[in-house]
Amino acid sequence: MTAGLNRLSRERQHFFSERDYMDSMKKIYHFISTMKTGLMLLVLLGLAAAMGRVIFPDSFSHAILFKMLLLLLLINMTCCTINRIIWFKSVFIYKRRKGFLKQFGILLLHAGIVLIMIGGVIFSCYGGSEQIQIVKHETKDISHVIKTNQVKPISMHLDDFKIEFNDDGSASQYYSFLTLLEDGQTKEKAVISVNHPLNCGGVKAYQMSFGYKVKVKHINSEGMETEDLFNEGDVLKIPGTERVVKIFRYIPNFDPAHGMTSITMRSDNPRIIFSVYENNNLLGVGAVEFGERVEIDNNVFAVFTGVEPYTVLCVKSDPGLPMVLSGGVMFMLGVCLALLTSHSKKAVRK
């Protein structure tokens, strides 16, 4: 008898604890899914973004707290959207009432935001993006950017880089002539420019920037000639002398009145700005034309023979992009239906 009562008491306890648990879960779900919580999260997100942009401009969007805030907003928006779908079905499924378009628009725009955010999460988990620099005639491996089950290595070869100019010498467009290679074999040839990225089998490449490497021929005291490529800012050490040459900058259109600044990007009057040092003491600064022979020390010469362009591309794979795009379209359609159709008071959701 006592044993039976004890068992009954244990079962009742278990039943109540399960019910308490369900009640708590319902309360948590209710709290997470309310509009009030969503608005609070939006305010927090706005504050965090505005303050973060000013205080930590480069890193605030990578902070764990900021990501947590976005995740909470995603959960809230997802729950809100599910609630809204249930309500929408119960009100509009059997009868098309007034306000259908408006409420459908509200549903679409919330669902669109959820899709955009999920697309963002997919990119951060499975996507990748990297800026790569390729000098003309160079090949760079990009396999590590594409986080898929790609077995064959993928690389990019820069065939050429060109700038198109306006009449005033300003840049009109930048072109990278590329060959996409799979396992060393040509897969596709493409020309990419700003606003016209390459899109090939999940790989996207965007024209981001460019620059020049400087070709320098140096002749040591024994008359031996060597030619190398240097970055702007590199230091050239020539055997047989204590003096070093700093290749400061390539100026495509030089004018002494503008100093180190090029008048335009078009190479109308190209110069290389360089400086010579001995034991860290500056001996002089010069601006020379291509092919001009500069005596660095007794019988030691440097000749700046030309420049080789390089392109900077952003290579990206984003499996979440189709979802983001669908979300964007849904969001736009939803916004137009919800806010630009006439207001109906009959089917306003409580």
For the bound state, the minimum distance from the C-beta of residue 121 to another protein, rounded and expressed in Å, comes to: 13
CB-nearer residue toward another protein: 191 or 265: 265
CB-nearer residue toward another protein: 136 or 316: 316
> Three-state SS across the chain?
CHHHHHHHHHHHHHHHHHHHHHHHHHHHHHHHHCHHHHHHHHHHHHHHHHHHHHHCCCCHHHCHHHHHHHHHHHHHHHHHHHHHHHHHHHHHCCCCCCCHHHHHHHHHHHHHHHHHHHHHHHHHHHCEEEEEEEECCCEEECHHHCCCCCCCCEEEEEEEEEEEECCCCCEEEEEEEEEEEECCEEEEEEEEECCECEEECCEEEEEEEEEEEEEEEEECCCCCEEEEEECCCCEEECCCCCEEEEEEEEECECCHHHCCCCCCCCCCECEEEEEEEECCEEEEEEEECCCCEEEEECCEEEEEEEEEEEEEEEEEECCCHHHHHHHHHHHHHHHHHHHHCCCCCCCCCC
For the bound state, the minimum distance from the C-beta of residue 72 to another protein, rounded and expressed in Å, comes to: 15
For the bound state, the minimum distance from the C-beta of residue 20 to another protein, rounded and expressed in Å, comes to: 33
For the bound state, the minimum distance from the C-beta of residue 91 to another protein, rounded and expressed in Å, comes to: 18
CB-nearer residue toward another protein: 45 or 288: 45
Which residues make up the interface to another protein (CB under 8 A)?
35, 39, 42-43, 45-46, 49-50, 53-54, 57, 60-61, 109, 120, 129, 166-168, 170-174, 193-197, 204, 206-211, 249, 251, 260-265, 314, 316, 321, 324-325, 328, 331-332, 335-336, 338-340, 343, 348
CB-nearer residue toward another protein: 239 or 322: 322
For the bound state, the minimum distance from the C-beta of residue 296 to another protein, rounded and expressed in Å, comes to: 26
CB-nearer residue toward another protein: 194 or 224: 194
